Amino acid sequence: MLPGSHVHSFISTLRIPAIQALIIQFVSFFLAILAIRGIWILTDMQAGIVAAALLQGVIAAALAFWRRLAPWWLAIQFLFPVALIAMLSLSLPPEIFLGLFVLLLGLYWTTFRTQVPFYPSGLEAREAVAGLLPVDRPIRFIDIGSGLGGLVLNLAARRPESAISGIELAPLPWLASWLRAQLVRSRGHFIHGDYTRLDFSQYDVVFAYLSPAAMSALWEKAGIEMQPGTLLLSYEFSIPGAVADVIVTSKTQGPTLYAWRF
């Protein structure tokens, strides 16, 4: 690899929100120490550990806002130091932390690369999607990032003549969805893998509940691979610069469903 490629790869890595969040926590830690040290020198007042954690959280959230990270990162950055102090004060067995780490890793480990957190869709989303599906023929439907499989299982029961599938990269949600399908003997099919490696031309309807960070790349892929007469659906997140052909608003102030026809 050329030196320029190394630099480009390094810069790309630094742009990953999770990496930025980690750097922000380190920077905020040292800024909080400097601030507390300055207060002690000027006023002879010593800050307690809780106050120090709150100060670090405020600085981290401010830096995350400055870096224009997604809103959920601001809450995470603020709460992380406080939560860490609270957990350490409980003197819990280390096995509990290991178990929580493994559980969260199984749910969210792909978020680091894909920038798509775990977003489960509810009953309202299933009703909205079902209302947009063609009813005059069997369809090939794929839920990209299918999570625990609720949408796929629901549509498979409604449309037994159709091929309803979901793909999920995170291992724990995929396993849960696969087990659910086996238990209820559903015709829904679950794939463990990365949707970016799918060929969208094999499907009549592609449904996505991803994140704002993934929408531009999704639109580019759909534009290349999806065939005339097919449908791209996105729940909650629109695509910058792409006017939706159909917009289904929520009756309960919930997320909106967007649809684009090809």
Q: From 208, 172, 169, select the one nearest 191 (Cα to Cα).
A: 169
Domain-embedded: residue 151: yes
Based on the fold, state whether residues 48 and 136 are members of the same structural domain.
no
Q: Is the pLDDT of residue 94 over 50?
A: yes
> Are 131 and 256 in a shared domain?
yes
108: burial class by Cβ within 10 Å (0-12, 13-18, 19+)?
middle
* 7 phi and psi angles, rounded to 5 deg: -65, -45
Q: Does residue 97 fall inside a structural domain?
A: no
| CATH code at position 248 | 3.40.50.150
- What average pLDDT does the segment 122-147 reach? 91
Q: Is 67 found in the same domain as 140?
A: no
Which residue among 91, 108, 133 closes a domain? Answer: 91
Task: Answer with the one of 69, 91, 113 that is the final residue of a domain.
Answer: 91
In the predicted model, is pLDDT for residue 236 greater than 90? no
| Higher local confidence (pLDDT), 259 or 75 | 259
Residues 45, 163, single domain; the answer is: no
Do residues 128 and 245 both lie within one domain?
A: yes
pLDDT greater at residue 50 or residue 158: 158
Task: Please state, in angstroms and rounded to a whole number, the distance separating the CA atoms of residues 80 and 163.
Answer: 43
**188 and 247, same domain (yes or no):** yes
Average pLDDT (196-213) is 92
Q: What is the mean pLDDT of residues 126-155?
A: 94
Tell whether 104 is covered by a domain. Answer: no
pLDDT score of 2 more than 50: no
235 close to 248: Cβ distance less than 8 angstroms: no
DSSP 45-103: ----HHHHHHHHHHHHHHHHHHTT--HHHHHHHHHHHHHHHHHHHTT--HHHHHHHHHH
Q: How, if at all, do strands 189-192 and 205-208 pair?
A: unpaired
SS3 (DSSP) at 4: helix
Cα dihedral value 130, 175, 105, 68, nearest 10:
-10
Give domain status of residue 34, yes or no: yes
132 and 249 share a domain?
yes
Contact 207, 142 (CB under 8 A): yes
Q: Per the domain annotation, does 114 fall within a domain? A: no
Query: Across all residues in the chain, what is the average pLDDT?
Result: 83
Same-domain status, 76 and 153: no
Q: What are phi and psi of 255, to 5 degrees?
A: -65, 160
Answer yes or no: do 60 and 169 share one domain: no
What average pLDDT does range 69-75 have in this prediction?
Answer: 76
Of 164, 157, 17, the closest CA to residue 25 belongs to 17
For residues 128 and 220, state if they share a domain: yes
Same structural domain for residues 245 and 174?
yes
Higher pLDDT, 261 or 23: 261
Residue 13's pLDDT is what? 58
Parent domain of 211: 123-261
The Cβ of residue 66 has, within 10 Å, a number of other Cβ atoms equal to 9
Q: How many CB atoms lie within 10 A of CB 193?
A: 11
Query: Are residues 65 and 132 both part of a single domain?
Result: no
Structure tokens that stand for 140 in this block: 């090939």
- Has residue 96 been placed in a domain? no
Instruction: Give the pLDDT of residue 222.
Output: 96
Whether residue 110 is contained in a domain is answered as no
Residues 146-160, mean pLDDT to the nearest whole number = 94
Segment 126-132 shows an average pLDDT of 93
Domain count, the chain: 2
205: pLDDT strictly greater than 60: yes
Of the pLDDT bands very low, low, confident and very high (cuts 50, 70, 90), residue 173 is: confident
> Taking 90 as the threshold, does the pLDDT of residue 140 lie above it?
yes
